Amino acid sequence: MPHIIVKLWPGRTEEMKQTLADKLAADTAEILAVDMDDISISMEEVAQTDWTENVYQKEILEKKENLYKKPGY
């Protein structure tokens, strides 16, 4: 605990995704006072053409109570 899922458009390099995962893990460990070994992070690429239906509608608009950072679009 915790497990973080990042959804993003395709096109980022493996190095970019690894850097993001490393920074998320470090900040999460510090803020939640957990060991780095307890954190897992996955990246799910979602095509730009599928974003509105599969992410924005289902995970942003329909789950507002779980959303801590709202997008500006």
By annotation, the residues acting in catalysis are 2
Residue 37, token pair as written in the block: 């070994």
Which DSSP symbol is given to 53?
A: I
Distance CA 46, CA 49 (A): 8
CB atoms within 10 A of CB 25: 19
